[in-house]
Amino acid sequence: MKLIMRSEFDNLRKNPLHSYESDVNGEKQIVKIFHDGALIAKKVTLKKSIRYFGAYGYQQFLTDESG
């Protein structure tokens, strides 16, 4: 997985074809986004730090929001 921009993560999260789940463990929160059961992105929040990660090839799941 590699770091991605927040806008890309939000694009993946808002897609109705994708499912997501959230997990909280103490101060750490993880939101995972799946496409057909495969993990394509995740957001890790630890205290005040937020990082967004995309699996290799996540770009093919982005939707066009320019229209």
| Residue 63 pLDDT | 87
| Residue 43 pLDDT | 97
| Residue 67 pLDDT | 43
| Residue 64 pLDDT | 82
| Residue 17 pLDDT | 92
- Beta-strand runs (E) in the chain: 2-3, 19-25, 28-35, 38-46, 49-54
Residue with the two structure tokens 């997990």: 23
With H, G, I as helix, E, B as strand and everything else as coil, classify residue 44.
strand
Tens of pLDDT along the chain (67 residues) come to 999 999 999 999 999 999 999 999 999 999 999 999 999 999 999 999 999 999 999 999 998 864 4
Report how far residue 39's alpha carbon sits from residue 50's, in angstroms, rounded to the nearest whole number: 18
Token pair belonging to 43: 């957001």
